Structure 1
Amino acid sequence: MNALFQCTHVMGLLMDRQIINAQVSPKYKVMVAMLHEELDVAKVLFDEQLSMAEKLGYMPVDKFMPPVAGTLLWIHKLRQRITTPVETFRIVEDPIMETPEAQHVFVKYEEMLDYLAQLEEKVFSEWVSQVADKCRVNLNRTLVVRDDTSILQLNFDDEVRHKGLDYHLQGLVSILREVSYLKNLGKEDIPEEALDLYQRNEDIRLWIGNLNLAIKWYNGIRSHCTPVEFDLILDEIEEIDEKVAKVQETLNWNSDDLILHVNVFSTDVWVHVKKIRDLVEHLYDRMAKIQANSVRISSIMNTWGATPLINRKDGKKEALVSLEDRKERVQKSGNSGSVVSDSDN
């Protein structure tokens, strides 16, 4: 339909020619009817979307979009769907523009724009009213937390929950995604707290990456070590725990030292976190080699237990024990496996 209305716009001065005007003018009634139908379809889509939001508890949008930006994009697309043909038709110079049918098109169009504007304002204002508090609460969290089993977790974000049109943001990741998409949509009046967080996006990503590595290795050690193995590395675990405790007690995501300047890590904090990561990485690599060697040794011993080193000649019970090839058999059995050492790297 857009192509049809754009065609009338392109024709321009050709409409001043009587022959062409006589052919085109009667079609304007059809175009008015098409506009009425298109506006009715837009209203049906709008009502269905609100009905689905009430039923599901959240506004259904593209699954790859965050909830607020996704809703605003849906509103933008629906607005564009009706705006292009109506605004193109508005510049037509023809007596039909003064008819009640044509005037009713513009009335329905303005009403639809009002509905979309009200929904857009509602969704965006509710999000704005929560962002500042969500940023403050989440940025004041400690970097890591420890559960009852001493397992570490990154303390940055929770899941995003929807409650009707009230987008209850629990974490910072959702806010970062919203700001990214809202900026692409050209949305203004984004809260300063959200913009400040977005400016630190890449810096925070680097911190999360390093902390996640340390946490993954640390939890792997605690989860996969046997009690005997854990007792052997207890002193090193306690050293790591002491440094982790300092991070929990003194640092949060809003600490001045965590803000990076000119893409360079703040020395004190970065050295402290890097020290934890390096200690955990070194211990994790050692334990992985030890456990791999233990499995390999058990496999070799099982092989020895299943295969005798010395046999009787020709496998006959009445034959004497064969000793001539004993060195070769022992050497062959001993070379059936190997273990990993630090010097192998």
Structure 2
Amino acid sequence: MMNIPPLSRLTSRRHWIGLACAALCAAGSPLAFAQDYPNKPVKLVVPYPPGGPTDIVARAVAQKLQERLGQPFVIDNKPGAGANLGAEAVARSAPDGYTLVVATTAHAINPALFAKLNYSLTKDFAPISQLTGGPLVIVASPALPANNVAELIALAKSKSGGLNYGSSGNGQSTHLSAELFSAMAGIKMNHVPYKGSAPALTDVMGGQVDLMFDTMLSSMPHVKGGKLKALAVTSAQRSAVAPDLPTVAESGLPGYEAIAWNGLLAPAGTPREVIARLSTELKAVLESPDIRQRFDAQGFGAAWSAPAAYGAFLQAEVDKWARVVKTSGAKID
């Protein structure tokens, strides 16, 4: 004879099975995943060596995210191949929000500059937010007979063979910003690439090259020390770091604008809820007074943006720099 459990026991058993299933389903849902995120350390890949502007931004942001989210945000410096090495590594990482990359202007330039890339900036990543944005500054030796943009353009037109300008490397913003300037001004300038800003600035100070478009972080201390003179900033508005320094656009080249920026990307396919969580936290971080003051003092302002807005910004940057690369003829195999 079958032993049939009482109805109350069956009901109770079904109740607990139902609760268990619901819990399992909730645990596996994107919303629950986002609420639980992060539950282990998060790696921020910086595709540059330690100590540079991108590394400085990444470490400041990582510290604040760690304080807010209660998990370590670990910096992993992975330089090489024009910042492509670190970006490629993250593009191939698991799309779970635990491996992110700090992108820069170079990543928008590289699709047009490199003959072949093993990743797509606009297809292999999910945009989270811009982090910073700031101008470059045109600096020259104090001996250069030009004290503003109009005089610089006139000098370049009058000098046989054109002026020579240094950069921190082929395809960097310090290179292509000068090429954009040359194209818009209708002048010739000869590119002299260096391995980083420091040796390039040394040669500008020594008069081996005429000028450089460089970050304010690395060049303004030399301007304040009298070893360089600053002609203009490359942003659409003046910089709070040097409010008396005019923009390129207002001092002889209307419409010119070039900024250096950092942003945060995750691998494509990362859950939208995780992207939203990171975006929300970054908004709080980048709007905090101490971060804003710290970044402003270094010449790059905090610049939070929603994921969709940052994605649109990336596409616009890719399109813009593709035109500049084509005009300049720059190429890296």
- Please state which band the TM-score falls in when normalised by the shorter chain: under 0.3
What TM-score, normalized by structure 1, do the two folds share? 0.25
Decide which structure has greater helix share: 1
